[in-house]
Chains A and B, each alone.
Chain A
């Protein structure tokens, strides 16, 4: 083993590192081709705004991070021990201005971001109704082990692991759970998630603006069937939606107390199922079961 091989070559290391990072980026983008990138392909108004907010935040942070990292690695290279040309000044004294800028730069960035974040948090509060000319549609969602039950109270229909919504219509999802640990209701392409919890009515407002089938799932672990607790959210035109509702209303498959008891039993990877509803206040019954600890989030607002 010669000494030469052991010598550290900065130039080569920097080159190889950059090459590695670039090829990692290339590999990732090749692998992404033809796949759904849910958060970058929003199909609903909330998801769109969340997406652009994320992009803004990332861009703002990169304004500081990129120069910082460049300076950081440049200094590391520039002041390497073997570089005799670089000044060595062990007792550099840093003035007040230096200390001030240490604190000022990140503060400005954080305050700018906070300035955007605060109103955006209010505007995109999931409890907040979406302003629209169309009449909102209420869908009651019950997280069960391990499937999602959707009840359309006005239409008197119910579905399991499938939900259809008309585009351009604000949807109010009322979320709760029954005999199920905390679950999180998430349809990435329509917007962010919200927890479904026993004895609570949590409200999530979303609105689809493009037709299509989108995947939804539970994002919070809730037991053995967690991975299979997914559903299709279909956004269709208003007309198609109405037709679909009529069809389901005629279904001989009726969601009554007996059928609900069956749904309450744990089961995994449930197929989609459609019901007409015999018991219009099923959702309230589920909530009242836990009335000892019943709290309604949206009523506090």
Chain B
């Protein structure tokens, strides 16, 4: 009876270890505080109507940033725990984590950083910026977009759910390699949580990608041919096409693994004709392109940044675009380089080695176009530009170590070592994450209407760069010393410890950088009257997103722009801006269907994890009913009449003029850390003195 009702759940599934209890208490406390604040401010209805059910890609983009930012802290905490364990655990000391717990931590770290931090930030940027860059008012399918976001949130909750129920995550490495992830070697619920977390968010990614391909191909402003598209949009298009190509592979592979675990089939088992090598192939056929899915939007961001801040068009736009397309095509044919060491023949290995090296050609071309863009430019060293300058140095190192790893005989020595770990962190941090940070700093004025504090931003950049070098140089060295990845303990005689300690110090410096980034955002809002952007174009930007207000109205553009050339807005600024005429605007209505479907998807996944059959059936029925109900809903749009738009516009202009008048030009630049601390202390003292807190 109990089986039927709650499956494998039992009292022992409740938190009972220090980390699960700690996490559960933290989650519940944070949830209560947030709920209390919202209730107190009477904002529940507003939250639901204006944000949660919104189909506006700008709001969804911001929600992606918030979730991904929280997950960055969560994944960063895992990273620190890994570093601390490795700095402690040598010789007779076993560190503070058991082997199993350590393995769960690095698995969760990998899953969270790739799926929920990098993918989250990238999706957020694409959501916010791409429609603006192509001069569109909304997306091809606004509903798919909100559904994609909420499935991502369901994945985020699923990946953290084990703290509350179950107490264990997968201990298999982030890809869940078979047969280690099979029922025989991982009987617990950890792998199931991983499967369903990735499965649900992966389906969301596929849907989002379809939507963005449609949007970019069908909804560009009149005159914007593919060859006039901004480079970030190009990067996003390449990335999304790759996502649609390979994410179904992930879905299928995870389903097969799930069948093995749930129904006892033999796709990837060691016995009864199963083949674990097939899993390795399938997962990397998705896994390698995934890296480029994250990388390509960053390439696009850097192209925008270097062009804007050099006040110069990108050099050889065509080579840049062909380079990005080349990267995405070749990226589909290199997956085997992740397991040269499995023992394929020399011809197979040499072929995949060659394909991998070939990718270095288009990426080098991209770097060359950026160099040529700076040539005879006028370079402003803003924070986005600093992230770019740091990126090129790290990316060169990462690229070279990547090509080195692509030489099969060298890979036999470097594979699975910390050298490999250092290599891909150079790419994912130095490439993807620096790109995201550059993008956020670059577009923040557009998103929030205020420029980010440059001074603290620069501190954050230097912390990240120095911390990165301190943390990952020792990992390269350790790999050369023969240290494999994922060791929870090593002999004292190896002499590795100083390097692990140095890495930990680097990790702490990176964390300071992360903290400074949060401080930077808060400090910018404190100084908002000074940092406000009333023009909509604070950097003298080249593309259409800068032609509208900061932050843009829900309909993005009052008049859909006519595009005549590349860098359309630069051109318009030189030619003179077109006349304003107001027109009726059709906008999509908000919908909660995405949330309902995602709740059911989460419950179905939860049912599969714990083997609760009635919950699975009910949830799947729920999903089907929601989808059918949604398709019958024909009133999905509303119209803003030309008069309403005119009213909104004049109100906005009035506000902008008022803000401009009250803009605080007098003070001496962006506040530093010291001032920030002073302001915060003063504010805290004020609150205490005024006794306002008592009414809470």
Contact = CB atoms under 8 A, between A and B. Distances in A.
Contacts of B185: 181, 223
B489 to A, nearest CB: 5
A105 B364 contact: yes
Nearest to A181: B180
Contacts of A76: 374, 379, 389
Contacts of B310: 79
A236 B339 CA distance: 32
Given A31-B502, A117-B353, A90 B371 contact: no
B178 to A, nearest CB: 8
Interface string A177-195: 0010110101011011111
A99 to B, nearest CB: 5
B316 interface: yes
Given A50-B412, A89-B376, A121-B353, A1 B672 contact: yes
Given A6-B670, A105-B364, A122 B482 contact: no
A226 B99 contact: yes
A24 B172 CA distance: 34
A182 B413 CA distance: 17
B343 A120 contact: no
A122 B346 contact: yes
B380 A184 contact: no
Interface residues of B, number: 109
Given A219-B484, A293-B274, A193 B416 contact: yes
Contacts of A198: 179, 270
Nearest to B497: A31
Contacts of B469: 20-21, 24
A34 B496 CA distance: 11
B313 interface: yes
B261 interface: no
Most central of A34, A117, A224 by chain B CB within 10 Å: A117
B350 A118 contact: yes
Contact of A221 (B172, B318, B377, B413): B172
B371 A71 contact: yes
A234 interface: no
Contact of B273 (A65, A191, A215, A293): A293
Contact of B675 (A1, A20, A105, A203): A1
A2 to B, nearest CB: 7
A165 interface: no
A195 B412 CA distance: 10
Main SS of chain B's interface residues?
helix
Given A20-B466, A193-B412, A87 B376 contact: yes
A224 B99 CA distance: 6
Interface string A201-245: 011000000000001011111111111100000000000000000
B482 A199 contact: no
Interface stretch (B242-250, B396-404, B575-583): B396-404
Contacts of A128: 346
A54 B410 contact: yes
Contacts of B354: 114, 117-118
A99 B368 CA distance: 10
B671 interface: yes
Contact of B365 (A102, A124, A222): A102
Contacts of B339: 195
Interface in B476-527: 477, 479-482, 484-490, 494-495, 498-499, 502
B392 interface: yes
Nearest to A100: B319
Given A49-B409, A117-B354, A106 B416 contact: no
Interface stretch (A56-64, A134-142, A150-158, A271-279): A56-64
Contact of A39 (B481, B669, B674): B481
Contact of B345 (A125, A181, A218): A125
B360 A106 contact: yes
A177 B122 CA distance: 41
A168 B68 CA distance: 56
Contacts of A69: 392-393, 396
B407 interface: yes
B315 interface: yes
A124 B361 CA distance: 25
A106 B365 contact: yes
A22 B523 CA distance: 34
Given A38-B480, A68-B367, A292 B272 contact: yes
B495 A34 contact: yes
B371 A99 contact: no
B103 A221 contact: yes
B369 interface: yes
Interface in B257-314: 270-277, 280, 310-313
B410 A50 contact: yes
B413 A50 contact: yes
B482 A225 contact: no
A65 B416 CA distance: 25
Contacts of A106: 360-361, 364-365, 368
B644 interface: no
B227 interface: no
Contact of B473 (A24, A71, A199, A225): A24
A221 B180 contact: yes
A98 B375 CA distance: 13
Contact of A92 (B312, B360, B396): B312
Given A28-B473, A191-B412, A221-B486, A65 B312 contact: no
Contacts of B358: 110
B171 interface: yes
Contacts of A71: 371
B455 A6 contact: yes
B208 interface: no
Interface string A16-34: 0000110010011001101
A264 interface: no
B352 to A, nearest CB: 10
B43 interface: no
B96 interface: no
B481 A35 contact: yes
Interface string B658-682: 0000000000111110110000000
Contacts of A2: 668
Contacts of A1: 668-669, 671-672, 674-675
Contact of B407 (A6, A57, A65, A223): A57
B480 A39 contact: yes
Interface in A56-88: 57-58, 61-62, 64-65, 68-69, 71-73, 75-76, 79-81, 86-88
A62 B406 CA distance: 16
B177 interface: yes
B409 A75 contact: no
A217 B413 contact: no
Given A24-B473, A191-B413, A221-B180, A65 B377 contact: no
A72 B482 CA distance: 34
A1 to B, nearest CB: 5
B341 A121 contact: no
A220 B339 CA distance: 11
B381 interface: yes
A86 B668 CA distance: 29
B381 A53 contact: no
Contacts of B280: 182
Contacts of B379: 76, 79-81
Given A32-B477, A81-B380, A110-B358, 20 more contacts: A1-B669, A34-B495, A35-B494, A54-B407, A54-B413, A79-B375, A90-B313, A102-B365, A102-B369, A106-B368, A118-B350, A121-B350, A124-B408, A181-B276, A184-B341, A215-B482, A219-B417, A226-B487, A227-B490, A268-B99
21 contacts: A6-B455, A6-B668, A8-B381, A68-B371, A68-B396, A69-B393, A81-B379, A88-B377, A110-B361, A117-B406, A121-B407, A122-B347, A124-B409, A125-B346, A188-B413, A193-B341, A200-B343, A223-B185, A226-B99, A226-B487, A227-B488
Give the top 3 A-B pairs by smallest Cβ distance, nearest first: A192-B412, A38-B482, A35-B495
